[in-house]
Chain A
């Protein structure tokens, strides 16, 4: 199943430098041990390596506790890794804390859209001001230039001037997520991290946003790192996929191949658990 977008992406693929290179990433959290006052190590991410080609789209699939969101948060700079490297457009993040201009530069390159548009937008901030704030921080544009850009962004995500002065509570869930996407795209990032970005939306609205994401990628050439538990949704927006289980990558490759011929047992379990008519729910033999 090759859409037009895939064709173009493949043609460009040979010459494309990876925009994101993740090597041997590891994250250990200290957690309280059950029944004692001592802490023990919990390995959330264990030896994770992958590359995201420029204007490519990579899915990270897994269930809760698989480490997929931790990987995304490390790349966005919301979490520091215990070990390993993250290189974004040639600039290494290593493990140190970024400050000042370095931190700002990462913000220009990597942006994130979160799952719940009800909590990721400031309830007191009108849509226009929300976009303006990002533009003021990341660009040198003047007031008129910023407004023009804000309106352009709104149009790109299927909103318009009428939404500019509204606060989040006057918007539907789908509209809020469009604002969150516009905000993330405001400073022309090279990588857009979408962490369960359509999971909280109603089914009929989810389809609209998935189509929007496909269009934006074709139009803007931004690369997606798409984190989700939902294989059907991942198939819709990614070229390649890695499957994570308990902090490790258990399978990686082209999304279509993984869905058609899963090589790993855990991936097969995930696929078998997707409900469809005639589906029989089964009890798992092993427990996490």
Chain B
């Protein structure tokens, strides 16, 4: 069984990330934010990227779009539809960002210009493509209808402050789809929304993706949400992907101690028991030692774990980056200590 089969990857890939390593300048010095990430997305597939703050999940999306700060250093390779993203010139890059990949951010209010109308925002990409104003407007109204906004004409004349967060997020989704991209990068698109609105936005995304065969990289801190809406998921910690597999497999039989700990950290509705917690706090990639990035918080860490960084390798149905994955299978548990220092 090859690594690709084990991770449940579909034949033919749209996005291929291979040993991607990213360093960004912080006060004049390069700081590692992603250690070594390998991830594929097939056409039409939904892949979840799950992690806490500092895990590098948003940086992964920014690297794919080449939206990193100046003087950042990226190594490894990123290929979109066979083309190397890291080698793209300005024209190809503009085409990639404008027409091939759509992006949705967590906070629509921070990413939509507040002094321009919703129509200006929504039509901009289409007008830049050379679509006539009237046709672009009609297409925008159609798109708004598809994301559940019936009175599109009025909404286009309004400004962002006149819309609720849920409505504004749908405007952002419509804008991301305006140029018919093949991949959607959704960075915590529902985190700022109420649960019922989240459910609605996810339903809209599912419908739109099914109709267009649109692939999605879904970035979230919510393992349960990722398990519900994606085909496969990758769990990131401190700039490393520590586990990948089909979403159901990772959710039901997580192998990496971090994934297990993350699942146990969330109280489940319907049962009240003391929460098992991972001691300490999530660290960033540059804070991790030479060994396993999770070693400092892992109750099962050995000298080997602290000294040598484990590779992502096939274990059972998924890929896991843990030296002790086989022997710990089904046995990982965390203490429910009173006071955990972080």
Residue positions of A touching B, CB distance < 8 A: 1, 3, 34, 63-64, 157-159, 172-175, 202-208, 210-212, 214-215, 229, 231-233, 235-236, 256, 259-260, 269-284
Contact = CB atoms under 8 A, between A and B. Distances in A.
Contacts of A276: 224, 227-228
B340 interface: yes
A231 B272 CA distance: 12
A36 to B, nearest CB: 14
B272 A3 contact: yes
A211 B281 contact: no
Question: Which residue, B199, B262, B277, has most C-beta atoms of chain A within 10 A?
Answer: B199
A207 B148 contact: no
Interface string B323-342: 00000000000001111111
Given A175-B342, A204-B265, A236 B200 contact: no
Interface stretch (B95-103, B173-181, B244-252): B244-252
A233 B267 contact: yes
Contacts of A175: 281, 342
B274 A214 contact: yes
Size category of the B interface is: 35 or more
B2 to A, nearest CB: 26
Question: Which residue, A203, A279, A280, has most C-beta atoms of chain B within 10 A?
Answer: A203
B203 interface: yes
Contact of A259 (B225, B247, B270, B338): B270
Contact of A1 (B247, B272, B340): B272
A63 B200 contact: no
Given A158-B340, A281-B200, 16 more contacts: A1-B271, A203-B262, A204-B282, A232-B267, A259-B269, A272-B199, A275-B198, A275-B227, A275-B229, A277-B224, A277-B251, A281-B198, A281-B199, A281-B201, A283-B203, A284-B196
B339 A212 contact: yes
Contacts of A215: 338-339
B266 A207 contact: yes
A146 to B, nearest CB: 22
A85 B276 CA distance: 41
Interface string B41-56: 0000000000011000
Contacts of A271: 269
